[in-house]
Copies of this chain bind each other. A is one copy, B any other.
């Protein structure tokens, strides 16, 4: 609902109808529309941050862990595309509760920082292409985000394999099989 219609475009009546309950019951559980949205955003960002931290604590090479992380992210996007879209709404729109925007901002900062550390590590053993790690992390994050949008909009193209192609562009030591 919030994913496709945005915060302002989503009606409490609509949520109630979709959930099969009455509007009054919604206000029994949540204090306001803002609170519903914030709860949603908090849940989404919390899960994502935990995933990134989990990848960070994993054994193995940087490129390998980064690839695992991207696979996890891609899987999540395929399974729950609307979750990402809600976060995107909170990221790009001014017409959302401030708390939600702040949550998403810190999410973006944290994930970028973690990816940058992966890249720094991967560059030292030549697994990942050269360049400023922060810069590359920003680039990779943006690309993933773009792919996620495309995927969520159910464009005819599968973005799972696209994510795979993307990570391949960033890594070096992979065998020269670029087709598929």
Contacts and interface: CB of A to CB of B under 8 A. Distances in A.
Contacts of A136: 165
> What is the interface of chain A mostly: helix, strand, loop, or mixed?
helix
A77 to B, nearest CB: 12
A93 B5 contact: yes
Interface of A: 4-9, 85, 88-89, 91-95, 108, 129-132, 134-136, 138-139, 141-147, 149-150, 152-153, 155, 157, 159, 161-162, 165-166, 169-170, 178-180
A63 to B, nearest CB: 15
Contacts of A180: 131-132
A6 B4 contact: no
A149 B139 contact: no
6 closest A-B pairs by beta carbon, nearest first, are A146-B146, A9-B95, A142-B146, A143-B143, A8-B9, A145-B146
13 contacts: A4-B93, A88-B92, A91-B153, A92-B153, A129-B169, A131-B180, A132-B179, A141-B146, A142-B159, A143-B146, A143-B166, A145-B149, A146-B146
A106 to B, nearest CB: 13
A101 to B, nearest CB: 10
Contacts of A139: 143, 147, 162, 165-166
**Which of A89, A135, A136, A152 has the most chain B CB atoms closer than 10 A to its own CB?**
A135
Contacts of A134: 157
B5 A95 contact: yes
Contacts of A92: 4, 85, 88-89, 149, 152-153
A165 B153 CA distance: 26
Contacts of A179: 130-132
A150 B169 CA distance: 20
